[in-house]
Amino acid sequence: MNRFGTIYRSLHGNSRAPMSRILHFGKIYENFHHHHQHQLQIFRNLILQTDVSKSVKLEKLDDSDTGIVKVELDRPEVKNAIGKDMLKRLQDTLKSISEDSKANVVMICSSVPKVFCAGADLKERKLMSPSEVHFFVNSLRSTFSYLEALSIPTIAVIEGAALGGGLEMILACDLRICGEHAVFGLPETGLAIIPGAGGTTRLPRIVGKAVAKELIFTGRKIVGKDALLMGLVNHCVPAGEAYLKALQVAREINEKGPLALRMAKHAINEGLEVKLSSALELEEECYEKLLHTKDRLEGLAAFAEKRKPRYTGE
């Protein structure tokens, strides 16, 4: 007797029921089971898609703040730890920003209290094979390089912990603004690995080789005021006020010529990678590209007329 027959007899007693009725009941059971499993999978997929879509949020500010873009990390259940799905969402968000000609400045912040980003999702990492880990870390590194290469200024807004990959993310930003209770660290050597998404290269460029070595060798965590003293952040403000300070800076940037901002960032970033004479030539090239823009003429006119300029990015 198959399981459908057993189920049927449990419902209808031990009487000898015709096999046709048993088979008919079995067919109904199979259809119900298949439909139930299908609906359950759809539900699971919807949950997953909703989780992914919310893990990184993109908001374009409006009115007088048009041109300011806010990227918000929102994965509270794991303290914004970066897993494969969240990384894909971050990549898509950065690509969207790079294609937005109206964006002038980006703020990257967290919606999760007392944490910016706890780094990589180590629970997910534990389930990966060595080749999968290698691929993920490479993807993380290239994503932060893409962030660094955005043509417009980027500001990291840090309240709480920015550890491991979280610190490596903010190192790829142009400016960093934190609350005094922010905590920074690269703990990878304590896990018998090294920072693999730019930590060993960007940190010494920002704070100097000796300081970077000490932080990486020891895995020591530092707080906001120490980060300010060593030049890791541009501003350290009272806890809870980092976003307001970042918005203030973003508004100052947003008033400037959009093309000039792009050329200034390009000249600084690329100029630091070459010898001084080559950097000066690059500066000349960037300056020349701005000479024949409408924005340059608007800037001169606004100065003469003692009014705020109205830049269009042309």
Q: Is 165 among the catalytic positions?
A: yes
- CA pseudo-torsion sign 147, 149, 151, 155: positive
From 67, 168, 199, 242, the catalytic residue = 168
End-to-end CA distance of the chain: 80
In whole angstroms, how far apart are CA 193 and each of 80, 99, 188, 199? 21, 35, 5, 12
Catalytic residue, chosen from 160, 165, 224, 257, is 165
Backbone phi, psi, residue 49, to 5°: -65, -40
Active site residue 188: yes
Which residue in 179, 188, 224, 299 is the catalytic one? 188
Q: Which residues are catalytic?
A: 120, 165, 168, 188
